[in-house]
Amino acid sequence: MSDILSDIKESTKTFVDDRLKNPYITTVIAIWIFTNRVLVYGVFNFSDDKNFDEKIKWISQHLNKFEIAGYNIGFIGGVVYALIIGIGSMMFFNLATGFGKAMYKFINKTSIKMIRSVEPSKWINIKEFDKVYSENEELIQDNNVLKRDVDRLEGEIDSRNEKVNQHRLDVKKKDEEIFELTEITVENSKNVGRLESKIKKQESDITDKEQIIQNHIDQGKMNSEAIAKLEKELEESKFNSSSSNSRLYLHSGQKHKDIKEHYVVSTNTIFNARIILNEIGQTCTIYIGLKVNNKRYWIGFTAGKDKSTGIKGIEYNSTKIYETKEIIIQEYIMSLFFEAYPDVDPKSSIVIDCIRLRADDKNLSDIIFNYSFN
């Protein structure tokens, strides 16, 4: 607090000194005091019987009553009057000063000439006088140079003082900003601490929830495995408990065994088959042997990745692509038969006498399938 008061005091002192050194301001103040001399005198010489309100009223009346040539121009007019007269006074004083300097130089030179014109005497030596005069002129010039240097240095000092004062104000402002930032930093640190505690608690809660979720997932995996096992057992039980057409077929490439049948085919007979392969992409073919007038014909339904359809002797295959282990076949037998063998008489008696399943050699495990006609 004391530093602030010192700064204010120093700034005020500098301001007043700068203004009082200005001759124009000094002249204006002197003119205003002279034109309002009654007011100035009265302020310092009030009678004791006047109270404070009466003094203020008297001062106000004199300030607002300033007449020039019979016109009342008031307090502001008096100030403007002093400013204008101050300009004229400064011009007059400058002219008077210049005139005085010119007169001094003229008289000085004239006196020197007059002295030089006097014959030498015992009481004066012209040469010594000239020497003293020359030295005096040099001293005057040196003095003028020093005055200019002093004025320049004073100007630099004033400029530096202004910079110092401005620097002090800037430092004070920076100190206030640093103090505010310090308070903000402390508050932010407290907030960060609270947030870190909250985050740790949330992380702990998340970890607990993740553990619970993982437990549920593990339990779900166990349940899924159990369900898959039950489905497999159910599927096997379905095959084991299905009709007499369910088969567990042990295949080995060209080696095969036929399933004997005796089923009279009609125009709308549909062949239904369900096959579960050992792996996706395993190729297999169900052959149906048909007899017409004691002559055997073969038609086949092929499942796999490679599609090939064609007639080979008295064998005809219809190939379909499957991307699953379980294959479902539902086909009209007579449509495929007459497509393969158009020369057979449709009125002939056609009998299915055997079923054959053949698969590739990639996996020699058993293939389960069942079939029916309707």
pLDDT in tens, the chain (374 residues): 566 767 776 776 666 566 556 777 888 787 777 777 777 777 777 777 777 777 777 777 777 776 676 667 777 777 787 788 788 888 887 888 888 888 888 887 787 777 666 555 544 566 676 777 788 888 988 898 998 999 889 989 988 998 998 988 888 888 888 888 888 888 878 877 887 887 888 788 778 777 887 777 777 666 666 665 565 555 555 444 443 344 555 554 445 677 888 899 988 899 998 888 878 877 888 889 999 988 989 988 887 655 444 444 456 777 777 777 888 888 888 888 888 888 888 888 999 998 888 877 666 677 777 888 88
pLDDT of residue 244: 39
Q: Are 31 and 86 in contact (CB under 8 A)?
A: yes
Burial class (CB in 10 A: 0-12, 13-18, 19+), 79: middle
Residue 157 CA, distance from chain mean position: 49
pLDDT score of 107: 84
Beta strands (DSSP E) in the chain are 67-68, 71-72, 247-249, 259-264, 270-276, 284-292, 295-304, 310-312, 315-321, 326-332, 350-359, 367-373
**Sheet arrangement for strand 284-292:** 259-264, 350-359, 284-292, 295-304, 315-321, 310-312
The tokens of 310 are what?
């064609």
List Cα–Cα distances, 120 to 15, 71, 84, 129, in angstroms: 58, 68, 56, 11
Residue holding tokens 């299905």? 242
* 259 touches 250 (CB < 8 A): no
Spatial contact of 132 and 112, defined as CB atoms under 8 Å apart: no
| Residue in the block written with tokens 């590739």 | 360
User: What is the reported pTM?
Assistant: 0.35
Residue 247 burial (CB count, 10 A): 19
First to last CA, the chain: 112
Q: Which residue has the tokens 């489905």?
A: 231
Looking at the DSSP bridge assignments, the partners of residue 355 are 259, 288
Dig out the tokens for 182 from the structure: 């310090």
| Residue 101 β-bridge partners | none
